[in-house]
């Protein structure tokens, strides 16, 4: 089983080195690392090249365009995705390989922790899992978390033309999980955890919720859920 890791990047020179170092020190190494240069003007690409990452250029600005470009260019059967500000545990790749020993699994994801202190990290991870569990109940299938996901390349090829393209309209990871759920099995594992260094947690109960409700309604997820 071979794995491509995709990292969409826009001016990430402050964090991408740590992410790539974590990938370089995995107990099981990825077979390729693709950094998607989404019009970087800093040293992101230079740093990525030092780690022998493959650079893919995407001139259309936005996370979804960058993600799609990386997925499209991935060479191997399992495509994993993370963000440059993510702190990956050393067994991240090995857990992905273990999960995809299930031949019926199409996609795999887990929660995020938001603090350095172990107790707070564990608490925030549990809270994040709870939030995503509720989202899964509303959608009728498990969600996926952008910095902590993997899917079969064959599943991506089946959903490539149906995913939404406007970052401002959707949560790209939730949108992706909606479309993947129509063709494949998704697993969300609370023990498959990563940590982010950015303060995204504060946005979960503000703009994230508003956008989430709008996109679930647009995808008729809330309608179908409450009319079962």
Once rounded to an integer, what is the mean pLDDT over residues 75-84?
97
Domain boundaries, the chain: 3-226
Closest to 143 measured CA to CA, from 153, 132, 152? 132
pLDDT per residue over 104-163, tens digit each?
A: 999 999 988 776 767 766 776 667 767 776 777 777 889 999 999 999 999 999 999 999
Closest to 154 measured CA to CA, from 187, 217, 105? 105
Whole-angstrom CA distances from 29 to 22, 32, 79, 148, 218 are: 10, 9, 13, 16, 39
pLDDT per residue over 80-101, tens digit each?
A: 999 999 989 999 999 999 999 9
Question: Residue 176 — pLDDT band, cuts 50, 70, 90?
Answer: very high
Task: Identify the pLDDT of residue 170.
Answer: 80
Does the pLDDT at position 222 exceed 80? Answer: no
Better-predicted residue by pLDDT, 93 or 193: 93
Does the pLDDT at position 228 exceed 50? Answer: no
Task: Identify the pLDDT of residue 64.
Answer: 95
Query: Residues 186, 180: contact at Cβ < 8 Å?
Result: yes
pLDDT per residue over 5-58, tens digit each?
A: 999 999 999 999 999 999 999 999 999 999 999 999 999 999 999 999 999 999
Task: Identify the pLDDT of residue 199.
Answer: 53
Both ends of the chain: CA-CA distance in Å? 39
Task: Identify the pLDDT of residue 198.
Answer: 63
Q: What is the CATH number of domain 3-226?
A: 3.90.550.10
Task: Identify the pLDDT of residue 223.
Answer: 41
Better-predicted residue by pLDDT, 181 or 119: 181
DSSP code string of the chain? --EEEEEEESS-TTTHHHHHHHHHT-SS--SEEEEEESS--SSHHHHHHHTTPEEEE--S-SHHHHHHHHHHH--SSEEEE--TTEE--TTHHHHHHHHTTSTTEEEEE--EE--SSHHHHHHHHHHHHHHHHHHHHHHTS---BTTBEEEEHHHHHHHTTTS---TTTS-HHHHHHHHHHTTSEEEE-TTS-EEESS--GGGTTTHHHHHHHHHHHHTTHHHHHHT-
Buried b (16+ CB within 10 A) or exposed e, 135-166: bbebbebbbbbbbbbbbbbebbebbeeebbee
């Amino acid at each position: 089983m071979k794995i491509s890791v995709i990292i969409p990047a826009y001016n990430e020179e402050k964090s991408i080195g740590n992410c790539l170092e974590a990938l370089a020190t995995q107990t099981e190494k990825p077979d390729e690392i693709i950094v998607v240069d989404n019009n970087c003007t800093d040293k992101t690409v230079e740093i990525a090249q030092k780690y022998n990452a493959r650079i893919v250029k995407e001139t259309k600005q936005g996370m979804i365009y960058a993600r799609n470009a990386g997925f499209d260019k991935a060479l191997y059967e399992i495509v994993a995705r993370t963000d440059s500000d993510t702190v990956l545990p050393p067994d991240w790749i090995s857990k992905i390989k273990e999960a995809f020993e299930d031949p019926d699994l199409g996609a795999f994801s887990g929660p995020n922790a938001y603090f350095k202190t172990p107790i707070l990290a564990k608490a925030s991870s549990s809270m994040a899992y709870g939030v995503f569990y509720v989202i899964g109940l509303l959608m009728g299938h498990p969600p996926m978390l952008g910095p902590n996901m993997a899917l079969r390349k064959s599943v991506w090829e089946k959903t490539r033309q149906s995913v939404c393209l406007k970052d401002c309209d959707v949560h790209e990871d939730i949108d992706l999980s909606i479309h993947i759920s129509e063709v494949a099995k998704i697993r969300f594992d609370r023990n498959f955890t990563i940590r982010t260094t950015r303060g995204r947690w504060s946005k979960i109960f503000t703009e994230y919720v508003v956008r989430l409700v709008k996109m679930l309604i647009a995808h008729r997820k809330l309608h179908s859920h409450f009319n079962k």
